[in-house]
Structure 1
Amino acid sequence: MTKVIPTTGITIIIVGLGIAGLTAAIECHRQGHKVIGLEKKSTVYQLGDIIGLSENGLKVLSQWPNANGTSVASTLTSLGSELSSVEIFSSAGELKYTIPFGADSPVAGLFLRRSDLVESLYQYATSELGLDLRYGVTVEEYWETATTAGVIVEGAERISGHCVIGADGIYSKTRAIITGDSPEEDAATLLETGGAIFRSTFDASAVATDPDAQWVLQDASTHDRHEIYLGKDVTILMGTMGKGKYVWWNCSHRDPTKATTNWVQAASIAPVLRYIQDWPIAKKLSAVISKTPQGKCFNHSLVTRKPIRTWVSRQGRMVVIGDAAHQFLPHTGQGANQAIEDAAVVAVCLRLASRSNDSSSREEDGVPLALRVMEKLRQVLGPRVSVIQEGSVEAQEVTLEADMDTGTSGDRFNAISRPAWIHCHDCVSHAHEEFSKVVDALNKGEGNCDAYVPTNAPMDGLFHAEDDYILQSKGAV
């Protein structure tokens, strides 16, 4: 039976309905807020190859009950890769490491298609919860006062609420409104990393009749495949999903040609075949890559952003989450998970702040306090997001510098690291536990916030990639 949470009377406008925005819509509804979701695209479909959900993200989704008694997390598990391990090879094709994956817990990790994740979130938000999500809507302007906030959409329609959440991606309009940056200043925060990635996912029928490519589907009826091939300046990941229903591959590489930042622009597979042509394992990998259907390969630069000065607007009625606030490289597998954490934490903080006010007036709805606490938990006093963001750039370098053939690659777990401080984190419980502490720190003034000790990131503020997830989850460390 679903627990009924009293409404808060807070109306939240969410701009952008990708992973962050849809999760925010669902979590805000679950916390008793009214939600209006806006998306400029006309459909829910999103391109992309695979996306990883780790336990910290799945903990949130596992609390969403379906009408049939299961959870959204279990639905996603049925759509994702069914893995027992991830295998790491040298460019010569020699198996170097086998990392157990998913064997101890069904929520230890999950890989699935980005489109399947977004579609599942959408279906839950609309079919199960009946949320007001509007597609094909372009936001032209943002505004806020001391008591309200809202947007003006194409056609001059004015939509009002108590709070605006900007989940509109790396090229967010909301972010510049909050920071006050000019378009030139906002563009200057974009950082090229020197890397790029080819991505592809396609139906397995494309390789099913090719004797040289069929190897990728071997034993797919019982388990999926996830393999990583590490070479100097080039990394190939390849595998299957849905017990062999889909084949996927990607290729991270140095980017001397400055690939486009447009991640939905189709690309040729020819450069990938050239990158690996001297690898002893090239024939095996090329057989699969060469079967990629036309229009199913995309190449784009890997970019991130400098941490922005603030996630919250001047009057405390607008906030950014997900890629609009922070852009991760894929090498830590935390882009989706941190977006989910952002969404859950902002929803909880809005609930707690509204409950801490006895007055029901709009002037005292608690929204500015909630958003500032959320920002402090995620980025400032608890710098979880910025540490993981920096760690994703470090992980890219370690991976591209790997030399598995000579055995001098360094830490093998950068290929698929599961540090407990990331994966075992429960962002909802943490927000409940730390909310009043952050409020006290804010009430004492920004200069006194040093007394607050963050508990959601390493004490030294550095990224630690040790694969201690299994030990921590078993209570051994």
Structure 2
Amino acid sequence: THDVSESWSAPGRVADALSLLSAWHPTVRAIVAATPPDRLVDWKLVYRDPLPTWVSPRGRIALLGDAAHPFLPTSIQGASQAVEDGVTVAVCLEMAARKKAEEEEEEGGTGKADVREALRAYERIRYDRVRRAQKTGETTRDRWHKADFDKVLKEPEAVRLPREEWLLGHDAEAHAYAVYGETVEQMRREEEKGGVDVRSLL
């Protein structure tokens, strides 16, 4: 409709909605027309370019969920990916504490986790998967918003929501445990070779 502010509560206008539905079935128009004006929200779908990093420069703060990687509603993945983030952060912190304890055991160290390394590993483990999941939402949005409904009547599959196994069948916890050690070793090798940070390549 109009250039609505980025809000989840900007008021909408029933007349605007009805004008967009002029060719729709009268039953649909009647339902929309019956919507109480104070209950209609003009909700703008907003796209955000991927952030180059989710971790603060000193490695003390990490973004998770929509703060790190906002999802379009057409992805049906916003909450799921936030949960995967949380699980991955938890595994990375646990593994960092274990690794530090093992490395310091002979020296009588405290075993205090290297939080900075854990958070950078979290980002590295999650970044590509999240970006790929975001793209599914963009693709689905385009498929739905640009649909040829004459074609859809003949081929309903053209607008069916994708249910991809790589997306829905992923075990974030098992994956984080499986790749944490290798991820940390790769990050350390890059630092030894001159401080290469993968984020500078994004």
- State the partner residue of 1:360: 110
Match of 1:309 in 2: 52
**Cα displacement (A) at 1:408:** 8.5
C-alpha separation in 1, matches of 2:158 and 2:91: 33
> What do the CA deviations read for 1:28-62 (whole angstroms, capped 9, x no partner)?
xxxxxxxxxxxxxxxxxxxxxxxxxxxxxxxxxxx
Among 125, 130, 133, the alignment partner of 1:385 is: 130
Instruction: Give the superposition deviation at 1:399.
Output: 0.8
Determine if contact 2:4/2:10 at 8 Å carries over to the other structure. no
The amino acid that maps onto 2:32 is I
Q: Assess if the C-alpha contact under 8 Å between 1:316 and 1:369 holds in 2.
A: yes
Give the alignment of 1:150-299 within 5 angstroms.
257-279=2-24, 281=25, 283-299=26-42
CA distance in 2, matches of 1:343, 1:412: 34
SS of match in other structure, 1:388: helix
Aligned-partner SS, 2:42: strand
Between the aligned partners of 1:350 and 1:299, the Cα distance in structure 2 is 41
**Matches of 1:366 and 1:411, distance apart in 2:** 51
Equivalent residue number for residue 105 of structure 2: none
Cα distance between partner residues in 1 of 2:155 and 2:179:
37
Distance 1:444 1:409, change over 3 A: farther
Q: Which residue of 1 aligns with 2:66?
A: 323
The 1:335–1:275 alpha-carbon spacing in structure 2 relative to 1, beyond 3 Å, is: same
2:140/2:161 contact within 8 Å kept = no
Question: How many residues are aligned here?
Answer: 186
| Offset at residue 360 of structure 1 (A) | 2.7
In 1, Cα distance between equivalents of 2:62 and 2:22: 47
Q: Does 1:432 align with 2:177?
A: yes
2:93 to 350, 356, 372: 350
The Cα shift of 1:384 comes to 0.7
How far, CA to CA, are the matches of 1:409 and 1:439 in structure 2? 51
- What amino acid maps onto 2:56 in structure 1? S
Distance 1:304 1:410, change over 3 A: farther
Aligned match for 2:143, one of 385, 393, 398: 398
Q: When the two structures are superposed, what TM-score results if normalisation uses the length of structure 2? A: 0.82
State TM-score, norm by structure 1: 0.37
Report deviation, 1:376.
0.2
User: Which amino acid in structure 2 is aligned with residue 403 of structure 1?
Assistant: D
RMSD between superposed Cα atoms in Å: 2.4
The residue type equivalent to 2:149 in the other structure is M
Change in Cα spacing, 1:413 to 1:360, as seen in structure 2 (3 Å) is: farther
Q: Does 1:373 align with 2:116?
A: no
- C-alpha separation between the residues in 2 aligned to 1:411 and 1:434? 40
Tell whether the 8 Å contact from 2:121 to 2:180 is kept in structure 1 after alignment. Answer: yes
| Structure 2 residues without counterparts, runs of 5 or longer | 102-108, 195-202
Q: CA–CA distance in 2 between the matches of 1:318 and 1:409?
A: 51
**How far apart are residue 295 of structure 1 and its match?**
2.3
Match of 2:77 among 334, 350, 356: 334
Percent identity of equivalent pairs: 32
Matched-pair contact (CA < 8 Å) for 2:152–2:159: no
Would the aligned equivalents of 1:331 and 1:415 in 2 still touch at CA under 8 Å? Answer: no
Does the Cα contact within 8 Å between 1:403 and 1:409 map onto a contact in 2? no
| Counterpart AA for 2:34 | K
Q: Secondary structure of the residue that 2:62 maps to in structure 1? A: strand
Provide the C-alpha distance between the structure 2 equivalents of 1:341 and 1:352, rounded to a whole number of angstroms.
16
Deviation string 1:298-338 (CA, Å, 9 cap, x unpaired) is 11221121111211111111111111111111112111111
* Structure with the larger strand share: 1
Aligned to 1:199: none
